A and B are shown apart, each in its own frame.
Chain A
Amino acid sequence: MKDGRACFEAWAGDHEWSDWTKPTLFAGSFGPADTSGGRSADELLAAARAMLSRYAESELTARGADGALNVAVVDLAGSDSIAVGALLAERGFAPVVLMNGVTPPLNPVVDNSLIVRALAELAPKLAVERNPSPAFLLDSRRLEGAVGPGRYDNRWITFPQDFPSAGRLQAARVKRCFVLAEPNRVADDLAHILRRWQDAGIAILDPSGPTPTRLDVRPPPWFRQVFYRSVALSGMKPNSFGGFGALIPIVTSGAGHGGGFRGGFG
């Protein structure tokens, strides 16, 4: 599927969680035809099946035995996250793409081209059941990548306002949330969301063992602080995510203003 809007519509679907799908990857310079090195839909799904087999597969369903809904947060690397999301559709989930990184034309720090390719490849194969439960898809590489001269820093973080509130999930009878993450940890930015859900009574579960185990998501730095978003984005937080510079400067003699707001405020 080569048209960004059509691809977006396929992934967003038409269900109660459609509106949360982030258009950033679809509306930017969407051009799967220009990418190379990506895997076919079948290859992506085969890899995703192998990946899912490492989890408590029989538990990974959109509805628990008690009839309550389970949601999933998939925080895997790039196209793996997309493929696992597509596969979860077979289990009653609706994949909700929450990836929010831009796709600049030149030298990005985070390469999103294979994600875009996977979105295009898998769009025609998506089959979301009626009344699905959401599976939110993130890219675990969103803060990774070699930052260097001449590269476009398109790293990103996810925010609580990108997700449904705990109240909204509970109104839909959500009681549990599976976290599929690689590496198997809750990233700081994601902890801001999961801790809110946990505080509201939603069980956060790690399905990486034979049976899911309950996670205790600790309050991350700046939890529930009004200015968290501003502070995080400006890189002023003490354990800063970095400067989020766009083009990282070519270091020349006398250049004294590169590198970002690391370490900054206070």
Chain B
Amino acid sequence: MSLPTAAGSVPGCAVTARLSPAVFRRYRLDAIFHGRKWDAQIFDRSAIADRALLLAREDWRELESATTALYSETLEVEQRLHELARDEGTARYLPRRAWNRLRSLPPQALDGRARLMRFDFHPTEEGWRLSEVNSDVPGGLNEASSFHRLWPEPTAGWQVTGDPARAYIAHVIEAFGLRAGARVGLVHATAYSDDWQQMALFQELLADFGVEAIGVSPTSVELRSDGVHESGRPLDAALRFFPGDWLLFAREGAPWFERHPANLSNPLGALYSQNKFFPVACAALGIGTPTWQRYLPRTCRLALADLGRSRDLAKPCFGRVGEDIAAINDLDARSKLGIALDLLFGRGLWIRQEAFRGLNLGSASEPIRACVGVYCAGGKVIGGYGRLTGERFVDMRATDSPVFVVN
């Protein structure tokens, strides 16, 4: 299959035809049982797409190049924001308790050795645009590491983008110097089977290195000066999938900031960039972010007056799966009131961002908009996956698809 010729700056990408219902049924089962996609249905929609996303080679190259630049820039931004946050003269841009926790983080919380980030790119009429980085607990690794292998249609001549789960685990092993016999905690919300499906994959991948992985929650471990202890024994490292902002805002999350362990991937310093407010803070503090500025739509502080009328989007600063993103003009009175209260009594919880028009990869009667999540660990691009939707925004209603690179 060849892609439509890219015209000007329009990205070269397309979707395959739908799988037939019978083929899709088998693929869905494979995704559940071989790809560990246990949250396969959300409300009335499948969370698994019946199409694959195809990218032109030069577009994938652009995304790889942008991702490595954004990764480096993001690490630098986190360091710089932390330095400035520790300075008493820097204006606070989070609620007080969260701000105090973040600025009190010790140096190991900015450790860049075993970082994993996922950058979400969208094809638009004006080229690729970035909606966010998931720098705290990037999910989707099961899908990104398996869907391309399980895709039931011929893929001869198509290139896969990588196996990010395997590459991430290999990177962690090397970065933390873990050896066979090491014990690693997988810190997650155990009530959440979406989390556990990823933990199960990591457990298997770590076992390939002779490393024992133990599922733990933030409250089931002891944080001591010499690291994380589980059942009275020290862990050699911990991989965190419990969102840092839940710890940041919860009263009982304090010890994770006060006694931040070494060998934690990702460290909580990631919250500086997970916070969607950070481009606003960077602009105010004079921190240069050229690659971010190139790809991120214009972003600014959301003000009360904006709620009256604006063509832009309102985004919560710690949203993760596209929940609560809305065009300001489409917000109902109740939602506006809720946001207004946040703006009056909170600080730095919302941004206003210029809306971009996602390229329609479908038809007028069946529009399809896409997003490509590109993973980066240790400065290297390790793979990606697609999300497809018929809605205006790629949010939690989107379906997951494999990404293939074609000539």
A residues contacting B by CB (< 8 A) are 4-5, 8-9, 19-20, 22-24, 27-28, 100-102, 104, 150, 152-157, 160-165, 167-168, 226-227, 230, 233-236, 241, 243-250, 252, 255-261, 264-265
The answer to whether A261 and B216 touch across the interface, beta carbons within 8 angstroms, is no
**Residues of chain A with a CB closer than 8 A to B40's CB:** 19, 23
B36: A residues at CB distance < 8 A: 27
Q: Is B196 positioned at the interface, with any CB of A under 8 Å from its CB?
A: yes
| Bound CA–CA A234/B247 (angstroms) | 9
User: How distant is A13 from chain B, measured CB to nearest CB, in Å?
Assistant: 12
Q: Is the CB of A153 within 8 A of B38?
A: no
Taking A19-B40, A245-B220, A247-B220 as contacts, is the C-beta distance between A264 and B252 under 8 angstroms? yes
Q: Which of B189, B191, B251, B253 has the most CB of A within 10 A?
A: B191
How many angstroms from the CA of A241 to the CA of B324 in the assembled complex? 24
Is there an interface contact between B250 and A261, defined as CB atoms closer than 8 Å? yes
Cβ of A155 and Cβ of B191 under 8 Å apart?
Answer: yes
Residues on B with beta carbons closer than 8 Å to the beta carbon of A260: 217, 219, 252
- Given contacts A4-B33, A152-B215, A156-B191, A249 and B250 within 8 Å (CB-CB): no
Given A4-B33, A226-B323, A261-B250, are A160 and B43 neighbors across the interface (CB < 8 Å)?
yes
Task: Please indicate the chain B residues that have their CB under 8 angstroms from the CB of A264 in the complex.
Answer: 250-252
Known: A247-B214, A259-B219. A236 touches B190 (CB 8 A): no
**Residues of A contacting B: mostly:** loop
Cβ-defined partner of A257 (8 Å) among B197, B221, B242, B251: B221
Q: Which of A162, A245, A265 contacts B217 (CB 8 A)?
A: A245
Q: Which of B41, B193, B219, B246 contacts A245 (CB 8 A)?
A: B219
Report Cα–Cα, A164/B250, bound state, in Å.
32
Q: Which residue of B lies closest to A255 (CB)?
A: B222
Contact of B231 among A165, A241, A247 (CB under 8 A): A247
Please, could you name 17 A-B residue pairs with CB atoms under 8 Å apart, sorted by A?
A5-B29, A24-B38, A28-B200, A102-B196, A154-B191, A155-B191, A161-B43, A163-B43, A164-B43, A230-B243, A234-B189, A234-B250, A245-B216, A246-B217, A250-B232, A255-B222, A264-B252
- Interface: B188 (CB within 8 A): yes
CB contacts (< 8 Å) of A236 on chain B: these are: 246, 249-250
Contact A22 B250 (CB under 8 A): no
Residues of A within 8 A of B231 (CB): 150, 247, 249-250
> B223 near A: Cβ within 8 Å?
yes
Which residues of chain B are within 8 angstroms of A250 by Cβ–Cβ distance? 231-232
**Judging by beta carbons under 8 Å apart, are A248 and B220 in contact?**
yes
Selected from B44, B217, B221, the residue in CB contact (under 8 A) with A153 is B217
Nearest CB on A from B291, distance (A): 30
CB neighbours (8 Å) of B232 from chain A are: 250, 252
Choose among A163, A241, A257 the residue that contacts B255 (Cβ–Cβ < 8 A): A257
B214 partner residues in chain A, CB cutoff 8 A: 246-247
Does B23 sit within 8 A of A, measured CB to CB?
Answer: no
Distance in angstroms between the alpha carbons of A5 and B197 in the assembled complex:
16
User: At the interface, yes or no: B303 with Cβ under 8 Å from chain A?
Assistant: no
